[in-house]
Each structure stands twice: as structure tokens, then as C-alpha cells.
């Protein structure tokens, strides 16, 4: 009986740990930064970042979270609140000022939905570094 109970406790703990690992909040460095480097780095890279927004490796989180937008009276990223984050509106093309991002040379294009969902979860979960 004790062996069976111990086995159940260990299996329950292991299942809970596995669930916690798979459902961990997205982080900027691990999950979001690779998207921004690929999709936004040409314009917001280290050389001459547009609007002064440097999203080059290791700099994007500090440049966005809790920082004001230069276009509207909103934070670029308000941790915990995608709807109050100007970046969220720019990426979803629901903004009222400026242009949707990312932009190509001749057009605006949205990120794939799975990437938008990940960025939304990142902001909603507190925009962790």
C-alpha cells in the first residue's frame, strides 16, 4: 500500500512539473526576441534604428517595456495589458496613428497569427525578460 501511494505521489508530482514547464509564461529572450530580430531587425537594428527603437539582440526588452510611444500617449508595451500596449496595436494593425508593422518596402504585412498569439501571451503574462 505504501509503495502504491508513493508511486502515485511521485507520478502526480512529475505530471505537475511537466505541466508547469510546458505552460510557463513566454519570455522575451527565449520566445519573442527571435521573432523581432527576424521580422523587425532591418529597420530597428543597431545601426540606425527607426524612431530610436533598437530591437537588436539584448536591447529590445528594455527599449519597449514600460517605455512611452513616440506616436501616441501609450506605453509601447504595458506589462500585463496587451490592449494598452501600442506595440500590440501596431502588430495587429488596429492602431489609429502611424503605420502597421512590420512593413516591407512597399506594403504592410502582419506577422503570422501564431507569432502574434505568442507576443500577446508574453505581454499578457507580464512581458518578462
Please check the confidence at residue 93 and state whether its pLDDT lies above 60.
yes
Spatial distance between the Cα atoms of 88 and 111, rounded to a whole number of angstroms: 11
The reported pTM is 0.79
pLDDT for 4 equals: 58
pLDDT, average across residues 74-87: 97
pLDDT, average across residues 20-37: 87
User: Cell for 92?
Assistant: 495587429
81 contacts: CB under 8 Å, gap ≥ 6: 123, 124
pLDDT for 20 equals: 43
Spatial distance between the Cα atoms of 3 and 107, rounded to a whole number of angstroms: 65
pLDDT for 12 equals: 47
Please check the confidence at residue 34 and state whether its pLDDT lies above 60.
yes
Amino acid at each position: 500500500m505504501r509503495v502504491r501511494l508513493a508511486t502515485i505521489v511521485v507520478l502526480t508530482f512529475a505530471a505537475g512539473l511537466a505541466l508547469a514547464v510546458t505552460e510557463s509564461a513566454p519570455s522575451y529572450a527565449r520566445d519573442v526576441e527571435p521573432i523581432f530580430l527576424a521580422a523587425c531587425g532591418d529597420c530597428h537594428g543597431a545601426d540606425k534604428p527607426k524612431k530610436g527603437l533598437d530591437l537588436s539582440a539584448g536591447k529590445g526588452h528594455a527599449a519597449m517595456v514600460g517605455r512611452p510611444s513616440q506616436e501616441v500617449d501609450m506605453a509601447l508595451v504595458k506589462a500585463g495589458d496587451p490592449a494598452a500596449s501600442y506595440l500590440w496595436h501596431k502588430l495587429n494593425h488596429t492602431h489609429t496613428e502611424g503605420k502597421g508593422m512590420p512593413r516591407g518596402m512597399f506594403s504592410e504585412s502582419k506577422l503570422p497569427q501564431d507569432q502574434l498569439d505568442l507576443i500577446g501571451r508574453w505581454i499578457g503574462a507580464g512581458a518578462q525578460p
